[in-house]
Amino acid sequence: MEQCNATLINSERLSSDIVRLTILAPAIAGQALPGQFVTIKAGGGFDPLLRRPFSIHQVKDDGSLQVLFKVLGKGTKSLAEMRAGETINLVGPLGNHFRTGEAMCLVGGGLGIAPLLFLTRSLLARPTPPSLTLVLGARDRQELTALSQGFLDLGITVHLTTDDGSLGHHGLVTDLLPSLLGDDKEWQVCSCGPYPMLRAVADLCSRQGWPCQVSLETMMACGISACLGCTVEASGNNDKAGQYLHVCKDGPVFYAGEIKWK
């Protein structure tokens, strides 16, 4: 883990409210693994006081990394207004990472799609890439187009779903999984997105017998498990039954069976 003052290389508006920052931070980028995150200081003073956590969207050979977010409040608005050449303070890489296998299915919803591009690129960079199925969903065409373009640029097949039917399948990502994943491979499912989607993916995988990892999105204040603000209850399926897990330290990636879904 490193804390550094890094240089903002580029700020892009992918849609009216989705922004991607490219930050030159070789000490962090060189250590990062798919699924990990960074925390970023928003603004130059004490308002907002707390850092904002962002999953690592991509890392590049020049030592830069990218984060992708939706402008929702004061902190993200401040970050979206930054310009190339400005200094940005970040800490990372934090948390654990996705574990991979020989047949991977990546399932992303909304802004949860962001860390799956880093994972996808790392899988494709293997000397022998695994079998790979991608299912990405979002609210509507505008949002999904912005979030999925990086995957499409890789020239791979991406299965798309939207809540309103404006792009791809009209419905949920879980609608497509049974038909896409046959019984001929030992699929490893990795998913990131809103809690209800993750719960549905976890339930489907449990019924189908597919190992499933979920990257949880929670409110985080410190990023190092000191504040206890990002706790989730452990399931009864492991030795931590009845205890609470810290998403920032024990996660953000968990096997679905570790979590008590509500």
Domains with residue ranges and CATH for the chain? 2-94 (2.40.30.10), 103-217 (3.40.50.80)
Angle of helix 195-208 relative to helix 173-180, nearest 10 degrees, comes to 20
Q: How many residues does the chain have?
A: 262
Q: What is the mean pLDDT of residues 47-52?
A: 71
For 11-20, 48-57, 218-227, which range has the lowest pLDDT when averaged over its residues?
218-227
| The pLDDT of residue 129 is above 70 | yes
Specify the pLDDT at position 46: 58
Specify the pLDDT at position 243: 85
How many other CB atoms are found less than 10 A from the CB of residue 157? 9
Residue type present at position 65? L
Rounded distance between C-alpha atoms, residue 97 and residue 155, angstroms: 25
pLDDT in tens, 225-245: 677 778 898 987 666 767 889
Specify the pLDDT at position 52: 86
Query: In the chain, pLDDT over 70 holds for what percent of residues?
Result: 93
Residue type present at position 52? R
pLDDT in tens, 92-124: 999 999 999 999 999 999 999 999 999 999 999
pLDDT band at 185 (very low <50, low <70, confident <90, very high): confident
Residue 184 zone, left/alpha/beta (φ > 0; ψ -120 to 50; rest): alpha
Q: What is the mean pLDDT of residues 165-173?
A: 97
Exposed e or buried b per residue across 52-82, where buried means at least 16 C-beta atoms within 10 angstroms of its C-beta:
bbbbbbbbeeeebbbbbbbbeeebbebbbeb
Q: What is the mean pLDDT of residues 28-34?
A: 97
Output the CA angle 156-162-166, nearest 5 degrees. Answer: 100
Burial (CB < 10 A; 0-12, 13-18, 19+), residue 10, is: middle
All residues at 6 or more sequence positions from 46 whose CB lies less than 8 Å from its CB, including other chains: none
Q: Distance between alpha carbon 39 and the CA centroid of its chain, in Å? A: 14
State the average pLDDT for the chain.
Answer: 91
Specify the pLDDT at position 44: 63
Residue type present at position 262? K
Specify the pLDDT at position 147: 96
